[in-house]
A = this chain, B = another copy of it.
């Protein structure tokens, strides 16, 4: 039997009004529900109810990590800067790395991630292939000095993360650990009640070529992603773009006066054709300063990561540079480019025989510019940001689009850190080899925010059972009443003995206040005990998720609830437990 929570004693100051500085639903609701408070820019305090949710998510993550064979450790947050010099990241990481100097003038930093510390930990102690693989994890406060902290827990400066690091002897072994982590992360998302996609992603500051993000779908998410019914999904920043440009066919190339037309939108409107029938031109230079002209489908955007992969050091030209190269801003095109220009275009355009493009003359465009005849392309590449409607690279069907919150990411690091820091083991063949590493992160406080983003309505939060601060709230309508109060206490006690986490709203407040707070805080099940109902031997059971209400006879309640308790145990092992009470309302 767990302790019964009492609203009269609980530190859960709910707010009647939306706080003025909440810029996202999760922050707004967590603040209003008395679960979270802002201590300073990007710094939050979890109040008792918010902390309970945080712990539940942490425990789900811990259980799944332990089940996967990973072992929990705790590394210091404070790290010597020397280690970051060894790995080469001290400068690379930039101003998001929180730095300080200790009283002996030694440079330190607050860990945003722990590759350096853990490689230094194992490099003299894991000696043989026989001791591999190892997968070590920790659940800890991490730091990132965001330039503009916002969106509550989503872009805070101090946050709770689970980070794991695997040390493998071979790529095959890494792949196994990576797959096991991916599976564990899927289970974690399921158990937290998240609607998510596992998407192809980019390594970012951590590094690593094979990497995958777990995105909780939410309109408020900062990431664009595409996905397909075949199972494929990708971060829009990382996904391959198979655009579907359309042809605007004409008999011959024609130069058209397009006065005042400088953008794709203006051009498409002027010609009355879809944007997908136009070609967007971008001019840049490579690391040596040579001219590079880039053409992509008119309805797409250039992907900076991709062009950097094709032309290392690529930067867009300034207006002055364009003029000095003899280019025309707003009317650039492939016909009649300066001698020596390197011309690169999106692969998808190779199937388009006639292009609608700028004429390299202010106020003029071409229609029907013929590929291979009127102009040349030197290279074809994947250059554009993928978007909904593009072809799925796996099955060819049109992709769906969504926005997402990144709650977790897994990386195959390879030997990037172990090689830089000299962390080797003795392989079966007697050779010293650098560890093959992977790293695997779950944003615990981010997951909490993502859950709220997905589970709320105009009244407040709707916690999945698996992470709710408590399962059931018993609401006596008239505190002090000699029938209502003892019956509410009895019900709370009985439910608690069944193994439910129970809160009783024993405050001397009006029913309306209690109902509003119960919905705002988001207790999954509410049992209302009132004078009138008790006369007929009944209480009202309400399901927060659906809003369903049902009058239940007192003598049926216990049996119903023990049935729900069994269903919940089973449900929360395989998901968020959301259906456990369905039978009552069936």
A interface residues, Cβ below 8 angstroms from B? 3, 9-11, 13, 37, 39-40, 43-48, 51-52, 54, 66-67, 69, 71-80, 95-96, 98-100, 102-103, 110, 117, 120-121, 125-126, 134, 136, 140-141, 143, 145, 147, 157-158
A103, B145: Cβ atoms closer than 8 Å: yes
13 new A-B contacts, CB < 8 A, other than A11-B134, A100-B110, are: A9-B69, A10-B71, A11-B73, A13-B126, A39-B121, A43-B76, A43-B80, A45-B75, A51-B73, A52-B72, A76-B158, A96-B103, A110-B110
User: In whole angstroms, what is the CA distance A144 to B275 when docked?
Assistant: 61
Given contacts A102-B145, A103-B145, contact A48 B73 (CB under 8 A): yes
> In the complex the two chains form, what is the Cα distance from A141 to B110 in whole Å?
12
Give the docked Cα–Cα distance between A120 and B39 (Å): 8
CB distance from A29 to the nearest CB of B (A): 17
Specify which of B45, B75, B80 is in contact with A74 (CB 8 Å cutoff): B45
User: Could you say which of A54, A71, A157 has the most chain B C-beta atoms within 10 Å of its C-beta?
Assistant: A71
Distance of A119 from chain B, by nearest CB (Å): 11
B136→A11 contact, CB < 8 A: yes
Given contacts A103-B145, A143-B78, A158-B77, contact A121 B37 (CB under 8 A): yes
Q: What CA separation (Å) do A96 and B39 show in the bound complex?
A: 23
Cα(A100)–Cα(B95), bound, Å? 13
Give the residue name and chain of the B residue nearest to A54 (CB). B74
The 5 closest A-B pairs by CB, nearest first: A100-B100, A43-B76, A48-B71, A46-B74, A13-B125
In the bound complex, residues from chain B placing their C-beta under 8 Å from that of A45 are: 73-76, 117, 121
**Shortest distance between the CB of A307 and any CB in chain B (Å):** 29
Chain B residues with Cβ under 8 A from A96's Cβ? Answer: 103
Q: Are A76 and B10 neighbours in the complex by a CB distance under 8 Å? A: no
By beta carbon, the residue of chain B nearest A118 is B45
Docked-complex contact A78 and B9, CB < 8 angstroms: no
Q: How far is the CA of A10 from the CA of B98 in the complex (A)?
A: 33
In the assembled complex, the CB of A136 is this many whole angstroms from the nearest CB of chain B, namely 6
Indicate if the CB atoms of B51 and A74 lie closer than 8 Å: yes
A43 x B78 contact (CB < 8 A)? yes
Cross-chain contact B98 with A99 (CB below 8 angstroms): no
Chain B residues lying within 8 Å of A47, measured Cβ to Cβ, are 73
Q: Which residues of B contact A54 (CB under 8 A)?
A: 74
What distance in Å separates the Cβ of A89 from its nearest Cβ neighbour in chain B?
A: 17
Q: Which residues of B contact A100 (CB under 8 A)?
A: 98-100, 110
| Chain B neighbourhood of A145, CB < 8 A | 102-103
Query: Chain B residue with minimal CB distance to A13?
Result: B125
- Report the minimum CB–CB distance from A555 to chain B (whole Å): 33
Q: Are B11 and A71 in contact (CB under 8 A)?
A: yes
Task: Identify which of B71, B72, B77 contacts A141 (C-beta below 8 A).
Answer: B77
Q: How long is the Cα–Cα vector from A117 to B40 in the complex, in angstroms?
A: 10
Shortest beta-carbon distance, A159 to chain B, in Å? 10
Assuming the contacts A11-B134, A100-B99, A141-B141, asked whether A46 and B69 have C-beta atoms less than 8 A apart, the reply is: no
Which residue of B11, B67, B117, B140 contacts A39 across the interface (Cβ within 8 Å)?
B117
Residue of B nearest to A146 (CB): B103
- Name the residue in A45, A52, A157 with the highest tally of chain B Cβ atoms < 10 Å from its Cβ: A45
- Whether B72 lies near A157 (C-beta < 8 A) is no
CB distance from A95 to the nearest CB of B (A): 5
Please tell me if the beta carbons of A76 and B125 are within 8 angstroms of each other in the complex: no
**Chain B residues within an 8 Å CB radius of A51:** 72-74
Chain B residues near A134 (CB-CB < 8 A): 11
Bound form: Cα–Cα A136–B46 in Å: 11
* Distance from A426 Cβ to chain B, minimum over Cβ atoms (Å): 15
Q: Interface centre among A3, A39, A69, by most B CB within 10 Å? A: A39
- Name the distance in Å between A168's Cβ and chain B's nearest Cβ: 14
Bound complex: CA A140 to CA B48 (Å): 15
Bound-state Cα–Cα, A10 to B96, Å: 35
List, in ascending order, chain B residues with CB within 8 A of A95's CB.
103
CB nearest neighbor in B for A76: B43
- Bound-state CA distance A387–B561 (Å) is 63
Shortest C-beta distance, A2 to chain B (Å), equals 9
Q: Which residues of B sit under 8 angstroms from A158, Cβ to Cβ?
A: 76-78
Q: Are A73 and B46 in contact (CB under 8 A)?
A: yes
Decide if B80 touches A40 in the complex (CB within 8 Å). yes
Least Cβ–Cβ distance between A534 and chain B, in angstroms: 28
Determine the residue in chain B with the shortest Cβ distance to A67.
B3
- Find out whether the CB atom of B48 lies under 8 angstroms from the CB atom of A72: yes
Chain B residue numbers with a CB within 8 Å of A102 are 98, 145, 157
Among A102, A121, A125, A147, residue most surrounded by chain B Cβ atoms (within 10 Å): A102
CA distance in complex: A54, B138 (Å): 13
Taking the nearest CB of chain B, how far is it from the CB of A445, in angstroms?
9
Supply 29 A–B pairs (Cβ within 8 Å), ascending by A: A3-B67, A9-B69, A11-B134, A37-B121, A37-B125, A39-B75, A39-B117, A40-B78, A40-B80, A43-B78, A43-B79, A44-B76, A45-B74, A45-B117, A46-B73, A48-B136, A51-B73, A51-B74, A52-B72, A76-B158, A78-B98, A95-B103, A98-B102, A100-B100, A100-B110, A102-B145, A102-B157, A140-B141, A141-B141
